[in-house]
Chains A and B, each alone.
Chain A
Amino acid sequence: MPTIGVNKADFYKALGREYTKQEFEELCFDFGIELDEDTSESKRPIIDGVEEAPQLKIEIPANRYDMLCFEGIAMNLNIFLGREAMPNFTLKPPSDGQLQTVTVSKDTERIRPYFSCAILRNIKFTKARYESFIALQDKLHHNLARQRTLVAIGTHDLDTIEGPFTYEALPPEEIQFAPLNQTKAMNGKQMMDFYEKDKHLSRYLPIIRDSPVYPIIYDKHRTVLSMPPIINGNHSKITLATRNVLIDITATDKTKLELTNHILVSMFSRYCAEPFTIEPVQIISDHNGQTRQTPDLTPRPTQASTTYINSICGLSESRESLCTSLARMCYHAHPSLTDSDILEVDIPITRADVLHQADIMEDAAVAYGFNSLPRHLPRTTAFTAAALPLNKLADIIRLESAMAGWAEVMPLILCSHDENYAWLNQPVPFSTNQKPVRLQNPKTAEYQIVRTSLLPGLLKTIRENKRHAVPMKIFEVGDVVFQDKGRERRSRNERHFGACWYGRGSGFEQVHGLMDRVMGMLRVGFISREEGLGEEEEEEEGAKGLKGGKGGKGEGKAGKEGLGYWIEEVDDPTYLPAHAAAIYLRLPSSSSSSSSSQPPPPPQRIGTFGILHPTVLKRFELPFPTSVLEMNVEVFL
């Protein structure tokens, strides 16, 4: 959201009265802008030895380019308050009828194809108006023009140059002029070097630097007006004394080109000797069908349905009353003569944000007052709530873990590549569907990838809590992300359960116990490896009894079928050798029907737990033994 600073005293004068802070805040609120700050009571910057006059800093909606300057905000509020009518902008060609012309060369298509122009005659600048004019161009360059990539503006003292003008594209070496506020002439290439270190201009250089031709605007005498989007020539620069202003606008986007022109002339033509008149310029651009006079000030005629507006606003306003409301929002509207539902609405050139009758409807609601609308919610149907199955599953695990005495943590999902792999002694995966999602433009090395494991976050949480009494027992149920070629987003989330025990002893049995507990609560039976693999060897009741003493419900029938898990020692570089276990899951036969023709799905390895390898502990700066657990829980859905 852009914030615009306006001189407080001048602004209230423009609104015709003084406001208390609260009164002005309420006005802004109703209109849909926001008073960010009133600098009356704060320390203000000293400019040229004088403290800046008190300002109102006003935040405006990002699509309201007609409020990017003092003049625009004042105009919109005055119209909203009914103090002014929307001005009628008119074209006023010179008395001899001879328009200034700008001929666009075909070469400009190679770099910046579109051109627009306008002249403000007999304008009277004051210091404040002049500064506002410059500031508006900056705001437009920054917002709408996306840092001058889409649109660039140049303004010139027309009395220092002479038409006809040409807009060309030339090799940089052939361009030679003294740029704004410089006395020495240089060519296009030299200028690139000259502004390389310039704090303000350097960021725009890449827009044209590597192009074989640079855009350039000349007058009749080959005086350079500007080299868009970088800099104007010094020769034609405007001053407080300038009376006739030529505005050049170049662009790669046609819509934003004319929009920029509209905003500049609608905001500043009010200072012309004949207010709100603009002198058009003839653009000759036959090669791309853009020959025309600019600017075109014709409001855009459109229609809006009274039924539509009333229906969404919950009102039953007459067409006439809606027209009155809309006039306060800059529209010229009148009831259609042929259709009893339709309003004929003229969208002024300032209101490029209006795309659909929905926008007109919203403005009608703003004029009526959002907080005065009838508040009625019709009840058309009964709704049935439903929880996401994945979240229900996660909640079971979360609650069971907390009830077992573990504390839930919520580390970040983005992490560094090393934390996720090297620090855990894990190799970078080779298979595409195991690879992490990498970020293109992180601001810090902490955010290089989307985690594929919960462990880095758990271990960092312990690291940051070393002052806490030991043992620490923490867990998280959260998503990790892997690449996945087969999907539209080329990636998939996977919900994992992770836990970490940190204390003076290893805690191996504690994470094991937590895993058993969660399995029990999910009705996953504890089975032997042989059972899991479906190997019909003799059932070792004794051994099973010993191991499975704590199994949950369903233990009885867990042996031969149904959901079951077993663990076995595994070599995993994250863990201390011989102190890590893989968790295997046997899934029940797929279909619920008893046809046993379907072979049961193969067992899945869903996770690992064990004592962390001391080298891992060292990297995460953990002095005490630590055991961790991580498993995929989506198999239990």
Chain B
Amino acid sequence: MGTENPGRPNFPMRPSSTPFASALPTMTPFSSRGPMVGSEASNIRPIPPGAPPTMTPFSSAGSSPPTRFSDPSVPSPPITSVPSAGGPFQQYPTPPFPSTVQTTPTRAPPVGQPPFQPPANQISAPPVSFRPQSQVPPVPMVSAPQTVNFPPSSLNVPQPPSESLFSGPRPNFQPTLPPPDLSYSTTKSTFQPPFPAYPSKQPAVSQVPSPFPAQQGSFMPPPPASSSPFSSQQGSYVPPPPIAAPLGYQSRDQMQHPGSAPPIGGIQTLTEDFSSLSLASMPGSIEPGLDYRTLPRPLDGDVEPSSFVEMYPMNCDPRYLRLTTSAIPNSQSLVSRWHLPLGAVVCPLAEAPEGEEVPVINFASTGIIRCRRCRTYVNPYVTFTDAGRKWRCNICSLLNDVPGEYFANLDATGRRIDLDQRPELIKGSVEFVAPTEYMVRPPMPPLYFFLIDVSISAVRSGMIEVVAQTVRSCLDELPGFPRTQIGFITFDSTIHFYNMKSSLMQPQMMVVSDLDDIFVPLPDDLLVNLSESRNVVETFLDSLPSMFQDNVNVESAFGPALKAAFMVMSQLGGKLLIFQNTLPSLGVGRLKLRGDDLRVYGTDKEHILRLPEDPFYKQMAADLTKYQIGVNVYAFSDKYTDIASLGTLAKYTGGQVYYYPSFQSGIHGEKLRHELARDLTRETAWEAVMRIRCGKGIRFTSYHGNFMLRSTDLLALPAVDCDKAYAMQLSLEETLLTTQTVYFQVALLYTASCGERRIRVHTAAAAIVTDLGEMYRQADTGAIVSLFCRLAIEKTLTNKLDDARNSLQVRIVKALREYRNLYAVQHRLGARMIYPESLKFLCLYGLALSKSVPLKGGYADAQLDERCAAGFTMMALPVKKLLKLLYPSLIRIDESLLKPSAQADDFKNIMKRLPLVAESLDSRGLYIYDDGFRFIIWFGRMLSPDIAGNLLGPDFAAELSRVTLHQHDNEMSRRLMGMLKKLRESDPSYYQLSYLVRQGEQPREGLLLLVNLLEDQMGGTSGYVDWIMQIHRQVQQNA
């Protein structure tokens, strides 16, 4: 259609592949179809083997196409019918079909993993055998498309009509439908005739068009799927997309000269590559609207977009860099129609699985190869010319000389002959060892400094004891032995320094009580080398809890203590861990109780509560960053502690906030222990700066996350680790981009714990497109949601919560409306709600976001401190972790606990996520709710006492708020603990504490679990169905 065509010709290579890629998720016809049906429909009702219903639409549709299009459109029906029957493919009477079938499997798989993994269902079974495992065989492709493409190409026209039939009046159940056989025969009969005609057409259509039709076929169906499962089967069948594209990517050279690929022109695409939900009321049901069971849900967690890596295999892994869409718009006008954030989410130090570590390269004598003009680091996308003597920068296209030591000859295809020994030329992520030019001072040693509150409430909560024990147990694992430095300050109304000189037997404590004029009592020895003073440090940590156990001081001179710590650390920088329990009450930076004035809420002054009260904290944070000090705040108070102010310290120094409201060592000790240990022992990059470069014509304009900007595009990160991600938005500087590809390069210059200065470089390429539809197809929900989240949280700092939520909703609506307008003309959309397949979860995440702790409700829905702490945390979370938090998993476990022989190895099968609705909870069941930060274990009212007894021991009848979960001596308990352990191991960045709750236990159940079932309607907030309806209505207004 019109929208597609203009874009295509420009990108001979990509176009063909992209539709494919985006199409895939739904498409992988066989595998995905199963899931679709399985996850959505099959729960609802078993689909009869014959699956007759599918046919009806066709028979009705069949009549219309001929008249309208005088085209052999019908072929598709037969195709569709087969799957529904779940029968063998041999059924196909005509030769072309078998061939299609064969192609499908091979083709489909590479690109997209179906977003739903089929929950092993009746229907999915047959398809399974077809699920393609192999890579795309380039060879057969050419022939395959030909056979295939014919039916689809003709098919797309008729489809819409049939489509509308489906969604509208279509009854849910089979009874009304004609028997399958009948429809079969009719379709067949209509269908056969076209074939003779086909050959004549073939030349014209050949190869190219096929991807689109295919796409279409596969695409459409899912939509109906939501309205009725049957129709979904119908579509998913259409022969798989023959891809011409992957061919192009086989070799690096080809990639770099896309122009060399055969141009594709004049493609007729009558695609409907979107998903849709029918919102019309279904006959037979009184309730208007849609069935909640059919709505899309990310029950497989976050699926990284594969197209990004598929198209540019040398890109860095998406765990390091994710673009909100991997199709970059070429003009301002296109950007303004996109409405969603355009940018990237970067997690420079993300943990790589075993075997995929980033290679470290030492250029030693050569020096690091960089572009003279734009300072880009050498990467896989640079091209070598002039017999290997020059290289062209891929970002600014300047021709640079290749240094003598780096020279290598080129082979016939223009590739360097030493390519396989040069990881920087084949991998998207590498790490260079930086020479002395990259240092302003000798690399600093890893440095940990502890600032510990010892006032009475800290002592009572038991926090000091847990901290001292944990630090002591981690001493061996602190990174950077033997250079690691360590130091301590404790404070209440006075500040206590500790001399830990290695020659001492015991630490010496020095008390400074002059808070107005802080001075450091000793020039050095407050900060000591851990390996030299190990004994003193251990003695100190052993005695710390007892030293203050009788302390009755209720004041906190936090500000002066912070200044003192800053003075001690400013020579070297490092990581400052603050353990804070009492609202700062003395000296500079004292804070007062805020937020108990209810009248402020809902007014224009509301946001001030979420901002630091005293400019001291911002100023301090700026100074700390300047001296390379990163701050992590651990807050424990049971009362208001003004996290908004304290968190500022972490925010601008690249740190994070851990908040344990009403900390009690007996209950929360384990969580603190794990998280502190993780904080101390994870690999940390010191005194780091990060910059992201991108090609000419675009520019990163705003950055979101926990860091401080040192210049317009340089992020200062005093201490950064694998659990931190940063988001940025880009904008076009030129009105029209003429290049076809744009490159991004993230460079993180840091000091590794071993004392080496290093540069970690991630490079990625993305295509520039002229077509909005393409941008939507290649969108990455995870990155978009991550950016939305950060923007919304930032907005709460200057506006009311309501405004932040509304602006989020408005942007989603605008985006969907724009998308609808793309297709409204060519397709009869009727009352359907359409959305791109790639963004099918966007609405749900939007809802989740507006119900997340930093944004939800009003005054009463979350404590001010909790809100602020969650805000600081979510500003730093990597995409996967954030999505998990937004849409937590709910898992039923009682069955797997009872299964006699079930071994832990089918962990994956057990961990079947359920939709977050109250209906998912069965009162006979036992469920785990896991949002990545805590477990909530829900005991159904009618759960067999046997299970409860085994898991909880003798106190299973007691009130669960007083019961803690620990292992009992029986198989079931062991298995549960094993399960929890596995879940925790899957993401060690936070420790999930288990909260037990029994059905009907009020108000605990409501607070802990029910309020988190975000698809349900809850005190004034809309449920998922209402939300969709609401968005749909708004999309249609002035659409």
A binds B: no
